[in-house]
């Protein structure tokens, strides 16, 4: 019976092991006293150790050799090329991110990086921060990677929470008996964005003890938009002067290029500072004088929406592209050690420790200001003061993008420690076991530079002339001038560079925040055969795990006490624990029957008891059916879960700024539907709004409120529950010869109770559209009792959203051997049939939004790898393809003339030559044909889905001793 099972396992491994989706650690097959001995292996996606390499779920494997051939310095760079994987956090997507600059994560199915579980050697690794449960791949050195297995489908029944979209399992080397020195350098054809890395890896092997240690350092330079010629002439959308109506067939907006494309103010802001007078919109000169805004020979009146200046040489607009970063500079240092002690036959101890330190830098636009300046301000030109007096105004509000004060900058320093002690072995020569304990800690220190001290700033801009000198005014409670403030430096807001350095030093400071996340895991797994059935042995795996996660968020005094302009953050800490028990079974049903080579049933269930969300169960039912040695079918139906993160549960509050309208604005009441208008009028009147909804009322929020981005506060929600996902898979594997494998997998995901924030506008609308103000939404909205403007909205996460998506993954591999070398071809492609997102399934009027075919979600994506090997030479090409898309599915030719985004194909070539046993040389060119992002307002500077680095040349050297 045993020989029959082994024979069947070996035949299946030969039949299906050639598929890249089932490439795993090699079996050890040896002859011992005439009996074949086959080692069971663990296949990612299951904790059952098996005699064959047949995977019960789709798994794509990237080997360490493929990583080396690609010439990359970070594993996320290669993961991003997979059609099933989106871009999570990356240096090209975190250039304006305060807490996450330089983080590298992955995002399977683009369901969100927190819904992809990353494991290291099959075990959990500490997340990037308290705000981001995803693993920062910066902390895992590429030189240590033996392979990466990517599971495309829900796997919570096996691994627990977070595995909704799938699992990335990074398998690291356990030992080596050589010393390796690796050097990599990537040089861009144009300046900026260069990468350089060094690593030293050494180890030793013996019958009892083996070890490996790696030290690595890498440095990525900042990439600025002005480093790239295709961004020095930006593109933008502009109002079409030829458009007459919404139905004339002429687009309302057209593509603008040239000097003034992208030149804009935000709201009413520009660099010099601007204001509104009865006769129109004016800007300030350096000396506080008024100058009219003239566009097209006409004085520009006060606008009702965003200003964009495209003519007449207007120079006060702000070009974000001139100050924009395309990639965050990043420095990384990693140390990793693994020690294996085979302390007895069939028993070993394994100790892993890794430490990483990463430093990143990011920039954002200057501060936006909307400040009231008195008419006696000493920096105001006398003629401008006279104009104010004539208009009967004792003050004017200046709107300014403070570019003269410099961009705001952020520095992120992160340290990550992860340790694991594990014991593995064989019990009773039948059962494999592993017990493990892991501890991980991540600390993220962020510093803001160029922040304004609110109190000092308000004092400094109230500048008056006293005894021939410009001083900060000291006023009494009635606003009358009584003298000058000691120690204060007067600040001019007028013009492009009106502020003195002394004044800037007085009003600016640095703010800081420290975030710490810790994770403790203890668990164990036992697997083996339970009993025999006519078709073979029933295999099983039992697992148990206890995990504790703690987190804290500690802002500095300036930020916590709201002393700086902008985002205040409250301190918080929190924790949760979870206890899990899981079981898996693989039950053979038929073998060697008509039209059935083998048929097995795959079952898994996992019970999870969270201190935060209570208990829940994940499960999976699947099958493996081999018709013969060439054709195989597989399928699964599973339920996966994701528990809320620490910050989603416990965040005490972070200030942000979001554009939203006031439902009590007369313009909003007049356009409201009949079903909502009555409640709006009644509730607005109850809130103190004078005569809402009447012709004599005509109430609108103040000009100051409408000209700024009002504040809101985002906090956690301790009442959150887990997200759930139902996913289905059906696949076919066809292997007509040992050199050809073709795979097609249909998949679908339905995610319910997805965590999503309502948004400030939704909170306000729910408050005022209700039958009365006595509702929970109104508890989250505050009004200023004097101006009646909305002063604050409190927002938070809720289990409201849903995702629905389905598609097909295709894979083909072909190996062709010749007398002059071997050729390897591998094609990965993904077709997205359906994708919808609903922000709120609990309320009427919120319908799912289809997004297939938009720029983030193309119908087709593909990756083709062609490799040639001859003796010590390897040459390979990698092609990446994205199908044509649109910016927005709802736009038509009436909206604009730039909605279409063309397809995008990018090629890279890499080569490797082994000069001797001691020296290996690698050369390559990324983005071989220097393909730039599509020249479109929505994509021309997009580093998330397109390459913004341009052509770059890669060099690698490996010295082995």
Q: pLDDT (tens digit, 9 = 90+) per residue, 207-259?
A: 899 999 999 999 999 998 888 988 887 787 777 878 888 888 889 888 877 54
Q: 3-class SS at 767?
A: helix
Give CB contacts under 8 A, 24+ apart, made by 254-257: 254/896, 254/897, 254/898, 255/896, 255/897, 255/898, 255/936, 255/937, 256/310, 257/233
| Confidence label for 313 from pLDDT (cuts 50, 70 and 90) | very low
Q: Are strands 290-292 and 294-295 parallel, antiparallel or unpaired?
A: unpaired
> Distance between CA atoms of 952 and 192, rounded to whole angstroms?
11
Biggest CA–CA distance in the chain, Å, is 109
Closest CA to 460 of 488, 479, 482, 487: 488
pLDDT of residue 307: 37
Q: Are strands 904-914 and 900-901 parallel, antiparallel or unpaired?
A: unpaired
> Distance between CA atoms of 445 and 366, rounded to whole angstroms?
22
- Greater pLDDT, 500 or 518: 518
Per-residue pLDDT tens digits for 193-209? 999 999 999 999 998 99
pLDDT of residue 440: 97
Mean pLDDT confidence for 644-662 = 88
Backbone angles phi, psi at 4, to 5 degrees: -65, -40
Mean pLDDT confidence for 67-90 = 82
| Confidence label for 2 from pLDDT (cuts 50, 70 and 90) | very low
Per-residue pLDDT tens digits for 135-166? 999 889 888 999 999 998 899 999 999 999 99
Percent of the chain scored above 70 by pLDDT?
Answer: 86
Query: Which stretch, 107-111, 655-659, 904-908, has highest mean pLDDT?
Result: 904-908
Strand ranges (E), 738-872: 740-757, 781-783, 790-795, 797-818, 821-838, 849-850, 860-870
**Does the pLDDT value for residue 961 go beyond 70?**
yes
pLDDT of residue 143: 87
| Confidence label for 855 from pLDDT (cuts 50, 70 and 90) | very high
Q: 3-class SS at 865?
A: strand
- Greater pLDDT, 181 or 314: 181
**Does the pLDDT value for residue 579 go beyond 50?**
yes
pLDDT of residue 888: 93
**Does the pLDDT value for residue 188 go beyond 80?**
yes
| Confidence label for 653 from pLDDT (cuts 50, 70 and 90) | confident
pLDDT of residue 365: 74
Mean pLDDT confidence for 333-356 = 96
> Distance between CA atoms of 810 and 85, rounded to whole angstroms?
14
**Does the pLDDT value for residue 30 go beyond 70?**
no
Range of weakest confidence among 397-406, 471-480, 578-587, 773-782: 397-406
- Greater pLDDT, 6 or 768: 768
Q: Kindly provide the b/e burial profile for residues 796-814, where b requires at least 16 CB atoms within 10 angstroms of the residue's own CB.
A: bbbbbbbbbbbbebbbbbe
Place of tokens 């071809």: 825
**Does the pLDDT value for residue 8 go beyond 60?**
no
List Cα–Cα distances, 114 to 105, 152, 645, 892, in angstroms.
Answer: 9, 15, 9, 34
> Distance between CA atoms of 661 and 565, rounded to whole angstroms?
23
Mean pLDDT confidence for 630-641 = 96
Closest CA to 790 of 714, 673, 679, 689: 689
Range of weakest confidence among 211-220, 459-468, 933-942, 945-954: 933-942
Q: 3-class SS at 83?
A: coil
List Cα–Cα distances, 930 to 741, 745, 924, in angstroms.
Answer: 33, 33, 14
pLDDT of residue 42: 62
Helices (H), ranges, 725-780: 760-768
pLDDT of residue 884: 97
List Cα–Cα distances, 271 to 403, 506, 564, 620, in angstroms.
Answer: 6, 21, 21, 58
- Is-contact 914 920, C-beta < 8 A? yes
- Is-contact 412 360, C-beta < 8 A? yes
Per-residue pLDDT tens digits for 513-570? 999 999 999 999 999 999 999 999 999 999 999 999 999 999 999 888 888 876 788 9
- Greater pLDDT, 70 or 290: 70
Range of weakest confidence among 72-86, 667-681, 838-852: 838-852
pLDDT of residue 844: 64
* Global pTM value: 0.86
Per-residue pLDDT tens digits for 703-758? 778 766 777 888 999 999 999 999 999 999 999 999 999 999 999 999 999 999 88
**Does the pLDDT value for residue 63 go beyond 80?**
yes
Backbone angles phi, psi at 21, to 5 degrees: -80, 0
| Confidence label for 304 from pLDDT (cuts 50, 70 and 90) | very low
Per-residue pLDDT tens digits for 816-854? 999 999 999 999 999 999 999 998 777 666 678 899 999
Closest CA to 752 of 726, 728, 724: 724
pLDDT of residue 27: 31
Per-residue pLDDT tens digits for 256-297? 775 445 544 434 445 556 565 665 566 776 667 766 655 445
CATH architecture for segment(s) 2-30+32-222+328-363+411-448+513-644+720-757+798-960: Beta Barrel (2.40)
Q: Indicate the Cα dihedral angle 239, 245, 251, 254, nearest 10°.
A: -10
Kindly report the average pLDDT of the chain as a whole number: 85
Per-residue pLDDT tens digits for 377-416? 999 888 888 888 887 888 887 877 777 777 788 899 999 9
pLDDT of residue 383: 84
pLDDT of residue 19: 39
Q: Are strands 166-172 and 116-120 parallel, antiparallel or unpaired?
A: parallel
Q: How is residue 896 annotated by DSSP?
A: B
- Greater pLDDT, 788 or 99: 788
Non-local (6+) Cβ contacts of 118 within 8 A are 105, 106, 125, 134, 135, 137, 167, 168, 169, 170
| Confidence label for 615 from pLDDT (cuts 50, 70 and 90) | very high
- Is-contact 387 277, C-beta < 8 A? yes
The two tokens of residue 81 are: 């090329």
Place of tokens 């933008």: 236
Domain extents for the chain? 2-30+32-222+328-363+411-448+513-644+720-757+798-960, 227-235+262-326+368-401+453-499, 654-716+759-795
Q: 3-class SS at 48?
A: coil
pLDDT of residue 293: 59
> Distance between CA atoms of 340 and 211, rounded to whole angstroms?
6
> Distance between CA atoms of 105 and 61, rounded to whole angstroms?
18
């Amino acid at each position: 019976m045993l020989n029959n099972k082994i024979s069947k396992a070996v035949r299946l491994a030969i039949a299906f092991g050639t598929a890249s989706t089932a490439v795993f650690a090699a079996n050890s097959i040896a002859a011992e006293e005439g009996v074949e001995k086959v080692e069971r292996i663990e296949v990612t996606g299951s904790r059952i150790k098996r005699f064959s390499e047949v995977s019960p779920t789709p798994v794509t494997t990237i080997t360490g050799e493929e990583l080396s051939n690609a010439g990359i310095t970070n594993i996320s760079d290669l993961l991003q090329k997979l059609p099933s994987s989106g871009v999570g956090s990356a240096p090209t997507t975190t250039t304006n991110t305060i807490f996450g600059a330089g983080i590298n994560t992955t995002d399977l199915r683009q369901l969100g990086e927190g819904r992809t579980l990353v494991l290291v050697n099959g075990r959990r690794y500490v997340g990037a921060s308290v705000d981001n449960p995803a693993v920062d791949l910066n902390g895992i050195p590429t030189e240590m990677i033996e392979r990466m297995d990517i599971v495309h489908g829900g796997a919570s029944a096996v691994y627990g929470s977070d595995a909704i979209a799938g699992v990335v399992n990074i398998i690291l080397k356990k030992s080596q008996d050589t010393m390796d020195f690796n050097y990599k350098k990537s040089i861009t054809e144009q300046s900026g964005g260069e990468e350089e890395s060094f690593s030293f890896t050494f180890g030793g092997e013996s019958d009892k003890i083996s070890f490996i240690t790696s030290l690595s350092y890498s440095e990525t330079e900042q990439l600025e938009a002005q480093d790239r010629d295709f961004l020095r002439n930006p593109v933008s959308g502009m109002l079409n002067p030829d458009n007459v109506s919404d139905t004339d067939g002429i687009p309302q907006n057209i593509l603008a290029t040239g000097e003034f494309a992208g030149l804009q103010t935000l709201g009413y802001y520009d660099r010099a500072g601007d204001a509104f007078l009865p006769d129109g919109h004016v800007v300030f000169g350096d000396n506080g004088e008024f100058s009219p805004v003239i566009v097209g020979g006409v004085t520009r009146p006060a606008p009702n929406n965003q200003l964009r200046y495209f003519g007449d040489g207007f120079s006060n607009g702000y070009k974000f592209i001139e100050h924009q970063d395309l990639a965050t500079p990043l420095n990384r240092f990693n140390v990793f050690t693994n020690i294996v002690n085979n302390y007895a036959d069939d028993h070993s101890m394994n100790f892993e420790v890794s430490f990483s330190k990463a430093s990143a830098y990011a920039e954002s636009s200057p501060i936006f200001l909307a400040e009231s300046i008195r008419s006696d301000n000493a920096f105001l030109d006398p003629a401008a003061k006279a104009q104010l007096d004539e208009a009967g105004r004792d003050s004017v509000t200046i709107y300014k993008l403070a570019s003269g004060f410099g961009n705001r900058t952020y520095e992120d320093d992160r340290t990550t420690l992860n340790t694991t002690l594990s014991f593995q072995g064989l019990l009773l020569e039948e059962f494999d076991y592993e017990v493990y304990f892991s501890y991980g800690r991540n600390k993220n220190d962020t510093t803001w530079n160029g922040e304004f001290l609110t109190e000092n700033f308000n004092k400094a801009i109230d500048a008056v002339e006293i005894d021939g000198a410009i001083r900060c005014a000291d006023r009494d409670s009635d606003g009358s001038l009584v003298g000058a403030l000691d120690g204060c430096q007067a600040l001019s807001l007028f013009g492009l560079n009106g502020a003195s350095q002394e004044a800037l030093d007085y009003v600016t400071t640095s703010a800081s925040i420290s975030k710490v996340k810790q994770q403790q895991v203890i668990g164990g797994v036992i697997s083996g055969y339970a009993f025999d059935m006519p078709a073979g042995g029933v295999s099983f795996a039992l697992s148990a795990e206890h995990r504790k996660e703690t987190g804290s968020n500690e802002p500095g005094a300036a930020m916590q006490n709201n002393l700086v302009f902008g985002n205040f953050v409250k301190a918080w800490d929190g924790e949760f624990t979870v206890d899990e028990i899981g079981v898996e079974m693989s039950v053979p049903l038929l073998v060697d029957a008509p039209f059935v080579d083998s048929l097995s049933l795959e079952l898994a269930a996992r019970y999870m008891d969270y201190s935060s969300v209570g208990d829940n169960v994940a499960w999976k039912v699947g099958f493996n059916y081999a018709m013969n040695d060439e054709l195989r079918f597989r399928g699964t139906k599973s339920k996966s879960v994701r528990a809320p993160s620490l910050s989603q549960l416990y965040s005490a509050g972070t200030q942000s700024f979001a554009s939203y309208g006031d439902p009590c604005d007369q313009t909003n009441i007049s356009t409201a539907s009949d079903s909502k208008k009555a409640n709006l009028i009644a509730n607005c009147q109850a809130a103190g709004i004078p005569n809402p909804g009447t012709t004599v009322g005509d109430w609108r929020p103040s000009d100051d409120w409408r000209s700024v981005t009002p504040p809101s506060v985002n906090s956690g929600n301790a009442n959150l529950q887990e997200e759930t996902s139902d996913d289905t898979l059906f696949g076919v594997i066809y292997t007509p010869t040992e050199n050809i494998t073709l795979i097609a997998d249909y998949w679908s995901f339905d995610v319910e109770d997805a965590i999503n924030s309502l948004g400030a506008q939704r909170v306000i609308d729910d408050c005022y559209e209700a039958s009365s103000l006595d509702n929970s939404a109104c508890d989250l909205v505050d009004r200023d009792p004097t101006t009646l403007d909305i002063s604050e909205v409190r927002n938070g996460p809720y289990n409201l959203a849903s995702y629905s998506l389905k598609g097909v993954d295709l894979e083909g591999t072909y190996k062709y051997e010749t007398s002059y070398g071997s050729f390897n071809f591998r094609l990965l492609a993904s077709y997205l049939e359906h994708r919808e997102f609903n922000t709120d399934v609990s309320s009427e009027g919120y319908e799912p939004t289809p997004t297939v075919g938009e720029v983030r979600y193309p119908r087709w994506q593909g990756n083709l790898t062609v490799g040639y090997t001859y003796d010590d030479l390897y040459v390979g090409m990698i092609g990446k393809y994205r199908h044509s898309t649109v910016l927005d599915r709802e736009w038509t030719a009436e909206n604009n003339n730039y909605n279409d985004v063309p397809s995008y194909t990018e090629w890279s070539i890499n080569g490797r030559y082994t000069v001797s046993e001691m020296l290996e040389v690698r050369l390559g060119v990324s983005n071989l044909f220097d393909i730039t992002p599509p020249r479109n307002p929505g994509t021309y500077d997009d580093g998330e889905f397109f390459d913004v680095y341009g052509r770059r040349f890669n060099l690698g050297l490996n010295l082995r001793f």
